Structure 1
């Protein structure tokens, strides 16, 4: 279902096909013990929501910040899933708060979805969010040399692409005085690494976001695939995956390249889980523990 929502005085088209509640209703048929992960308050985490990080014409793009003021902390940018067409930054708030409580500054980011703008708009939005966060490093107590990008499902695909395209001029605003959008770590939670691949089953959802089918625009499908951007400059990466191979298409081929360049990678599997496991108990704690251990290993 698509509807128009007024946010901060502006009308924004929203697709509500993918929500936490609809996911819960669907998955509890197979996993009756599950429950929805709720946003928790932590005494050491400050929260500021609906921060405008970018304006396009009359459209403001927002992010939610979860951070502490104890010292300069590594930052984590969180990208929600929803098939590039649906979903919301609010989905990432519980995870952002939990990670922030362990000594990180976390930012759940809104980006333009496929009903609003096709690729590479969403990728550029996320990179602009990273630049905004770095530009405001003092306010959010961030060490700008320690930035991770994390995404789930389609957001995982985007996170991997953001991280494998550090410094790519076509995807990044490069003006004097604006910091780079480069990141030093990637966390891909069940996001594909290649749109066209023997393991991939991407179809209409990918076509809507990429602006056409593989037969029509093969170069764009390949350009948007992190596997084909992986090189010696790719940062360390953590893969957290469900039991479904289609959601990590291209991962093993990517790891072969990373191994050639001696770049650290790690795979964590969540057995007997649905695809959107990060939104639900009992898998949330396991997922966040894997993330925090990887971030600590990389940045602390």
Structure 2
């Protein structure tokens, strides 16, 4: 029988450490690694087309590796395809004079560096990068050098590494990963995991639940910073205060983008501010250098594969809400953190498509206001699970939350998505008694394209995109729109024009009236519900003027409209709840809902 060990979130304080051989107390030593990435073009230069730049980066890498070797530092070099391809092209003759006649990858390997593939899989996938390493005479490690962990159903899908991966550019090549590192999000704009420790993630929905039978283990990176030694000094202090489990194995990655090596004074500063202080900690027995494969071996042989998952305090609630301990699939019930959950509940079947929603209910008694959560994705993508954290937070605050999937373009055009949202609202009202919901207090909250759809739901006449029982209202009593486009015609000539055209099924030139009809600002009227509009001032995709103009139009019509422009925030900032911008938005949302549903008579 499979046994699943729930996430080990170390929340206990005052743990008494005890003596190790040599006088050092557990949980020391903390295991630390320098991890380096180079990237594919255009993030980094195209080294295959620029030999001079390649040679400059190569020489800097060689000197840095020698520096780390002198300090006996663990070093994982994680390379994308382009630098490897350039090494195959240029590492001959005089170029290899400073590496003993070896190409740079062989030279690093012989210094004890772990050679790990790294890939964003835009062209070359992980197996392809591994094959490039082999062609340079080195067997790559089994480390997956960075992957997308959130949202769980992202296109990369880390669970594929459970089996050998076949090459895309080299179809005959295969590579098997066994060690995951660097759980991140696309563009690092979401909740990158900052945990320390080692464990075997159960699956993509239960990443922080240890499953001893999983073939993949994860090595936590902790803060993953550069000049602060990846947060190592902070973790050492926490251990000295007795706030870490003395039986746990703790890990830190000092992340160094390879491009920093060619910056003036970086290497000297790194030696002074990072390597020397870490060396002092190592001499005291508080720190032990190790590569990621060495950490995996130590975890197995010295710690008996005992899982440790330590998440920093400021990220703990967010990560717990993203990944509850118990599975909730196919409508099964889960209770976690005071929240009752049901996943993948079918609320409508149309055009052969079963549309589902996830439900997050408060455990408290009484009748609760409801919030419909509508994901973004340019009307062409996205998934309801991207609002899982919001669903759980709202439920803990006393609101029943419903995160909904809807039909997407280009297969389905407007008003299909709006119709689905109206059906979802009606479904909530139909099941209000069973779910302990007040049907007179329903809000809609959406981001980006979802922000557009909830604004349209709040303003457009019910006859547009209506569905289901005409005796049940699809009106909502409050709208929260995050950085959504309010006047679609403003997208003409912008980078968003193509997405709008795909959503509507016609260009603005072909159907200007359709573009106006699908614009929330067109339908503003005095009987609209209260609005909260939130937008990042630095949004480069949807200008914040869209929310400003919508707020002005609502106020001119006599509708309550709260506008929050968040300095320093771009598009899609709301889900990164470890940032002050996202926390400011969340606080505004909770305050708006509390005020709207406690002090304002409901609109029907």
Tell me the TM-score normalised to structure 1 length: 0.85
Report the Cα offset of residue 15 of structure 1. Answer: 9.2
**Partner residue in 2 for 1:22:** 186
Is 1:272 paired with 2:568?
Answer: yes
Structure 2 CA distance, aligned partners of 1:72 and 1:294?
Answer: 19
Structure 2 CA distance, aligned partners of 1:64 and 1:292?
Answer: 20
SS at match of 2:424: helix
Q: 1:183 to 1:23 in 2, by over 3 A?
A: farther
**Partner residue in 1 for 2:366:** 71
Is 1:231 paired with 2:525?
Answer: yes
Structure 2 CA distance, aligned partners of 1:244 and 1:261?
Answer: 28
Larger CA deviation: 252-261 vs 52-61: 252-261
Structure 2 CA distance, aligned partners of 1:25 and 1:174?
Answer: 38
Per-residue CA deviation, residues 105-140 of structure 1 (Å, 9 max, x unaligned), is: 000000011033011101100110111011000121
Gaps of 5+ in 2: 1-120, 122-152, 157-183, 193-223, 226-313, 325-335, 599-604
CA contact (8 A) 2:384 2:403 kept: yes
**Partner residue in 1 for 2:50:** none
**Partner residue in 2 for 1:45:** 339
Q: 1:256 to 1:268 in 2, by over 3 A?
A: closer
Larger RCO (CA under 8 A, 6+ residues apart): 1
CA contact (8 A) 1:98 1:288 kept: no
CA contact (8 A) 1:77 1:148 kept: yes
Structure 2 CA distance, aligned partners of 1:22 and 1:153?
Answer: 16
CA contact (8 A) 1:66 1:96 kept: yes
Structure 2 CA distance, aligned partners of 1:244 and 1:136?
Answer: 41
Report the Cα offset of residue 16 of structure 1. Answer: 4.5
Structure 2 CA distance, aligned partners of 1:273 and 1:145?
Answer: 34
Per-residue CA deviation, residues 160-186 of structure 1 (Å, 9 max, x unaligned), is: 011112x4213112535x511100100
**Partner residue in 2 for 1:181:** 474
Pairing of 1:89-238 with structure 2 (within 5 A): 89-165=384-460, 167-173=461-467, 175=469, 178-197=471-490, 201=494, 202-238=496-532
Aligned residues: 281
Tell me the TM-score normalised to structure 2 length: 0.44
**Partner residue in 1 for 2:596:** 298
**Partner residue in 2 for 1:262:** 558
Report the Cα offset of residue 192 of structure 1. Answer: 1.0
Report the Cα offset of residue 249 of structure 1. Answer: 4.4
Structure 2 CA distance, aligned partners of 1:216 and 1:77?
Answer: 33
SS at match of 1:162: helix
Larger Rg: 2
Structure 2 CA distance, aligned partners of 1:275 and 1:250?
Answer: 13
Say what the alpha-carbon RMSD is for the aligned residues. Answer: 2.8
Structure 2 CA distance, aligned partners of 1:181 and 1:229?
Answer: 16
